[in-house]
Amino acid sequence: MKFNDLFGGLVFLALSGLVAIASWNLPNPSQQPLGPSAFPLILSGLLALCAAILAINGARTTQAGPWIGLADWARSGSALARLLLVPAAVIFYMLFAETLGFLICAPLILIVLFLAGGARPLHAIGLSLAAALVIHSIFYLALGVQLPWGPLEPFRW
Amino acid sequence: MLDAYVTALGMVLDPYVLFVITASAVYGLVVGCIPGLSATMATALLVPLTFFMPPVPAIAAIVTTSTMAIFSGDIPGCLLRIPGTPASAAYVDDSYQMTLKGKPELALGIGLWFSVLGGLFGTAVMMVASPAIADFALGFGSVEFFWIVMLGLGGAVFIGSSTPLKACISLLIGLLIAMIGMNNPAGQPRFTFESTEMLGGVSLIPMMVGMFACSEVMRHMVSGGSAPHAVVQKIGPIFANMWRLTKQYPWQLIRGSALGTIIGIQPGSGADMAAWMSYAMSKRFSKEPEKFGTGHPEGLIEAGASNNSSLAGAWIPALVFGIPGDSITAIAIGVLMMKNMAPGPTIFVNNPENVYAVFLVFVIANLMMLPLGWAIIKVATRVLSVPRRVLMPIILLFAIVGSYAINNSLFDVGVMLAFGVLAFVLEENDFPVAPVILGVVLGPLLEEYFINSMIKSDGRLIGLVDRPIAAVLAAITIGIIGWTVIASLRGGKPSKQPAQG
- Whether residue A49 is found in the same domain as residue A100: no
Query: Which three-class secondary structure state does DSSP give residue A125?
Result: helix
CB pairs under 8 A, 24+ apart, for B248-254? B249/B297, B249/B298, B249/B301, B249/B302, B252/B282, B252/B298, B252/B301, B252/B302, B252/B305, B253/B114, B253/B117, B253/B118, B253/B301, B253/B302, B253/B305, B254/B121
Distance CA(B268)–CA(B254), nearest Å, equals 23
State the residue range of the domain holding A94.
Answer: 73-155
- Whether residue A113 is found in the same domain as residue A86: yes
Quote the Cα angle for B318-B120-B319, to 5°. Answer: 10
- Whether residue A82 is found in the same domain as residue A112: yes
Please judge whether B393 and A113 are an interchain contact, meaning their C-beta atoms are less than 8 angstroms apart. Answer: yes
Which of chain B's residues have a Cβ under 8 Å away from the Cβ of A89?
396, 400
The pLDDT tens digits of the residues spanning B242-270 come to 888 888 888 889 999 999 999 888 776 77
Helix B250-265 and helix B104-137: axis angle, to 10°?
A: 50
Q: State the pLDDT confidence band at B495, using cuts at 50, 70 and 90.
A: very low
The closest CB to that of A135, out of B172, B224, B397, belongs to B397
Distance CA(B60)–CA(B37), nearest Å, equals 21
**Average pLDDT rounded to a whole number, residues B483-500:** 60
Which of chain B's residues have a Cβ under 8 Å away from the Cβ of A73?
222-223
Please judge whether A33 and B175 are an interchain contact, meaning their C-beta atoms are less than 8 angstroms apart. Answer: no
Number of domains in chain A: 2
Query: Which three-class secondary structure state does DSSP give residue A34?
Result: coil
Percent above pLDDT 90 for chain B: 34
Size of the A and B interface in Cβ pairs below 8 Å: 163
Please judge whether A87 and B429 are an interchain contact, meaning their C-beta atoms are less than 8 angstroms apart. Answer: no
- Whether residue A34 is found in the same domain as residue A60: yes
The predicted pLDDT at position A103 comes to: 92
**Domain final residue pick, A35, A51, A69:** A69
B490: distance to nearest CA of chain A, Å? 14
Higher pLDDT: A18 or B240? It is A18
The closest CB to that of B401, out of A114, A135, A144, belongs to A135
B399: distance to nearest CA of chain A, Å? 10
- Whether residue A135 is found in the same domain as residue A77: yes
The predicted pLDDT at position B227 comes to: 55
Query: Which three-class secondary structure state does DSSP give residue A58?
Result: helix
Distance CA(B175)–CA(B169), nearest Å, equals 10
The predicted pLDDT at position B120 comes to: 95
Quote the Cα angle for B343-B349-B350, to 5°. Answer: 75
The pLDDT tens digits of the residues spanning A114-131 come to 998 888 999 999 999 999
pTM summary value: 0.87
A65: distance to nearest CA of chain B, Å? 16
DSSP track, A85-113: HHHHHHHHHHHHHHHH-HHHHHHHHHHHH
Whether residue A151 is predicted with pLDDT greater than 80 in this model: the reply is yes
Which of chain A's residues have a Cβ under 8 Å away from the Cβ of B396?
86, 89-90, 109, 113
**Closest chain B residue to A31, measured at CA:** B186
Whether residue A70 is predicted with pLDDT greater than 70 in this model: the reply is no
The predicted pLDDT at position B16 comes to: 94
- Whether residue A146 is found in the same domain as residue A106: yes
- Whether residue A61 is found in the same domain as residue A81: no
Whether residue A69 is predicted with pLDDT greater than 80 in this model: the reply is no
Q: State the pLDDT confidence band at B34, using cuts at 50, 70 and 90.
A: confident
The closest CB to that of B52, out of A3, A117, A143, belongs to A143
The per-residue pLDDT of chain B, averaged, comes to 86
**Closest chain A residue to B411, measured at CA:** A94
- Whether residue A62 is found in the same domain as residue A84: no
The predicted pLDDT at position B247 comes to: 87
**Domain final residue pick, A49, A69, A89:** A69
**Domain final residue pick, A30, A45, A69:** A69
- Whether residue A108 is found in the same domain as residue A63: no
B166: distance to nearest CA of chain A, Å? 8
Q: Could you tell me which residues come within 8 angstroms of residue A137 by beta carbon, excluding any fewer than 6 positions away?
A: none
- Whether residue A40 is found in the same domain as residue A89: no
The predicted pLDDT at position B480 comes to: 85
ipTM: 0.91
Query: Which three-class secondary structure state does DSSP give residue B390?
Result: helix
Cβ contact B362:B63 at 8 Å: yes
Residues 95-134 of A with CB under 8 A from B: 97-98, 102, 106, 109-110, 113-114, 116-119, 127, 131-132
Quickly list H helices, B73-103: 74-80, 92-100
Question: Residue type for B347, please?
Answer: I
The predicted pLDDT at position B64 comes to: 94
